[in-house]
Structures are given as C-alpha cells and as structure tokens.
Homo-oligomer: A and B are copies of this chain.
Amino acid sequence: MSTHNAQGVTAPQGFTAAAAQAGIKPSGKPDMALVVNTGPRFDAAAVFTRNRVKASPVKLSQQAVADGSLRAVLYNSGNANACNGAQGDADARESQAYASAALGVDAGEVAVCSTGLIGELLEMDKVKGGVDALVPALGTDNGQAAADAILTTDLVRKEAVYSGEGFTVGAMGKGVGMMAPSLATMLVCITTDAQATPEALEVALRKATKVTFDTVDIDGSTSTNDTVIVMANGASGTTPRQEELDAAILHVCDSLARQMQADAEGVTKRVNITVTGTADDEQALNAARTLGRDNLFKCAMFGSDPNWGRTLAAVGMADAEMDPDKISVSFNGEAVCIDSTGTPGAREVDLSGADIDVLVDLGTGGPGKATVHTTDLSHDYVEINSAYSS
C-alpha cells in the first residue's frame, strides 16, 4: 500500500478526464472539467448537501445516481447554478443533455456539479463551448488539470490516491469556505478501478464522509452545492472486501478533508478540537462543533491566545451534558484549565505555530468522544468574504 498525490481521478485504470477554459470565470482560468468512466462497469454512489436550498445540479445529480450507475460527471466552477429557479433547473438539464450527447451515452448516466457564485444564470453558450472542448481532450493523464479546473477561491489543488491490493482509488476535491458539511460537502469526485456494487460504494462512502468531511467545520455555513460522487469500473478485475473498500475510500476522503482544512479561506491556523467526557459521541460532536463555530474562540486562535475562558463559555452553550465545575482544557497538550479553573501559567502557553490541538473534557466521566477540524477567524477571512461577489 502506497500513497501519492498525482493524477487524482485518472490514477485508477479506465478513467479519463479533461479540463477547459469556457469563460465562466472572469479571470480566464480553467473552469470546466469532465471525468469519464470508460468501464467495463459503471457503479456509482453519492452523498449530497442537507441544505433545504439545493442547487439545480444537486437535484439533477441526485436523480442521475439514483439507479446506482454513472458514466461521467461534468463540472463547472465560477457559477453555482443555485437559486436560479426553473431556468436553473432547465440549464442543468441542458448541460447534462449536451454532454451526454457528445459522449454518446444516456443523459441519466451523466451527473453535473457546479460551484461558484449563487444566483447567476449559467451562460449556456459558454457551457456548450466548454463541453465541445472537453470531449475531444479526454485523456488518462488529465486528472491534475481537472482538479485545477474545479477550484474557486481555493489556493491549492486537492487530490488524493490510494493504492490497494490489486486496485487503486483516486480523488479530487475543492472547498475552502461555506464549509459545515452534513452528510456530504463541497465537490469531490472519487474514482476506482475496483469492482464494487453501488451498495458497497454507498456504505464505504457514508462511513468515510461521517468521520472526514462531516467533521470539517470552517465557518458553520453549509453550501447549496455539496456533492461527493464515487464511480467504480472494475477495470482492475479486483473485488476488494468491504473493509478494504472502506479503508481505501476513507483514506482519500481523509486526505482531501485535511487539504480543505489547510486551504480554508483566510486560514492562518489549523485547529483540531477533540471533546471527551460526554455521555456519547454525538454529544461530544455537538460540543466540539459549538466550540469550532464560536467566533470569539476562533479570533483568540488567530491571536495565538490560549483563551480557555472563551473555550468554557462556548462549550457551556453546547447541547451536551457536562459538569460545569469539572471541565478541563488543554492546548497542544498543555493543561490550561482543570476543574473549570485556570492553571498557573495557562496564559503563557505558546500557540504561535500553525497547528493548535484543543482537548476539552466535559467532566461527566462518560465515554463520548469526537473531533472537529476547524480554523481560526482571520482578517483575510473577512476580506475574502466581504469582497467575493463584488
């Protein structure tokens, strides 16, 4: 078993990809990508945003993958095609129809994913021009180019590869803000030449997303467009056991989730919050998420300030049982608060590095435990997000 980060989605056998500059992004950067499964099998599974306000491509792709089969995914960045009403739905369908015709497959075999600005209509002439460029450019070397083309405010490309016993899993993803996924997040495409049923893929994907993307919480905001798709073609001839498949999917999801955390909008600190001492894991997750979303705590992390007082104030509002007099907190392994009281020297703990591990025990003695991956709240976050659409 080895891991490298090159050629993400085209690392497994039997997948081709392409990227194009369709002119959707004003910057002129690549903004469309196509990932095609060339078979022999076309098993697929996906998870989508739980936001009630779903982008048109999410609704369409949910239908496309419902039968457990996909042959291709069409991506565009720069425009989310969200909140565009009936015209948005029609544009998503037209994109799907145009791409499937160009590929010579049924429309229902093509998923579409969009990311970018909400509330702007897709310019369909540009989308069609993009598809016209993508299809003849499909190749087994273009995973990296596709990974570049789906980025928005991401600063770095995000890919992952897992080499299993006789099979390979590849993946690409994007996501730097509006990240508080539930069930799924952002845009992620996972490919594998393993032979696996849609049911096996779905099991592996849900297990993996629960402990990876679902525990990344950058700003408490959940996107309208979150989509994670996995496609398997059996080209390797290997049928991994479910546990092998689970481990492989988990590996690439975990890698992409950490890449997203590291590249989050305006991040200067990666903050990993673990909560223990609750009745169950769900309560621990609630408390970790409450802390990870607390702006005062996040500003303190930006300031390298070991502010355990704000930590207690934040978890005190969490939907979790706790003993308010028995809470303990450590930063990077140094105890700063024991029995809800500061330790000597707690304010001198050095948090100047880029990584901060926070451990909070809520003092009930229960076995609950969970970790959430978040970031600090920085000037750059405000700058990026106050200027994004203007």
| Contacts A324-B52, A325-B85, A379-B382; A178 near B313 (Cβ below 8 A) | yes
Q: Is A385 located at the chain interface by the 8 A CB criterion?
A: yes
Residues of B near A365 (CB, < 8 A) are none
Q: Is A103 located at the chain interface by the 8 A CB criterion?
A: no
A205-257 with Cβ < 8 A to chain B: 219-224
In the complex, A221→B313 CA distance in Å?
A: 8
Chain B min CB distance to A338 (Å): 9
Closest residue of chain B to A266, judged by CB? B382
Contact between B221 and A118, CB atoms less than 8 A apart = no
Q: Is A39 located at the chain interface by the 8 A CB criterion?
A: no
Chain B min CB distance to A364 (Å): 12
In the complex, A359→B239 CA distance in Å?
A: 54
Main secondary structure of the interface of A (DSSP, over half): loop
Interface residue from B299, B339, B347 paired with A382 (Cβ < 8 Å): B299
Interface residue range, chain A: 35 or more
Q: Is A117 located at the chain interface by the 8 A CB criterion?
A: yes
Contact between A337 and B119, CB atoms less than 8 A apart = yes
Contact between A317 and B222, CB atoms less than 8 A apart = yes
Residues of B near A305 (CB, < 8 A) are 386, 388-390
Contact between B302 and A341, CB atoms less than 8 A apart = no
Contact between A313 and B53, CB atoms less than 8 A apart = yes
Contact between B294 and A221, CB atoms less than 8 A apart = yes
Q: Is A309 located at the chain interface by the 8 A CB criterion?
A: yes
Contact between A293 and B220, CB atoms less than 8 A apart = yes
Contact between A386 and B300, CB atoms less than 8 A apart = yes
Residues of B near A383 (CB, < 8 A) are 379
Interface residue from B53, B300, B302, B379 paired with A312 (Cβ < 8 Å): B53
Q: Is A322 located at the chain interface by the 8 A CB criterion?
A: yes
Chain B min CB distance to A217 (Å): 11
Residues of B near A327 (CB, < 8 A) are 53
A27-52 with Cβ < 8 A to chain B: 50-52
Contact between B386 and A382, CB atoms less than 8 A apart = no
Q: Is A172 located at the chain interface by the 8 A CB criterion?
A: no
Q: Is A63 located at the chain interface by the 8 A CB criterion?
A: no
- 23 A-B pairs whose Cβ atoms sit less than 8 Å apart in the complex: A51-B313, A54-B316, A83-B312, A85-B325, A119-B308, A119-B309, A119-B341, A120-B342, A221-B294, A221-B313, A221-B317, A224-B312, A296-B385, A300-B386, A302-B382, A302-B386, A303-B386, A305-B386, A305-B389, A307-B388, A307-B389, A379-B382, A382-B382
List 14 extra interface pairs beyond A85-B339, A221-B296, A296-B385, CB under 8 A. Answer: A50-B317, A52-B322, A53-B324, A53-B340, A83-B337, A84-B341, A85-B340, A117-B309, A118-B313, A119-B308, A177-B296, A178-B296, A178-B310, A303-B386
Q: Which 10 pairs between the two chains have the least Cβ-Cβ distance?
A: A118-B309, A303-B386, A53-B316, A85-B341, A299-B385, A119-B309, A51-B316, A119-B342, A52-B316, A302-B386
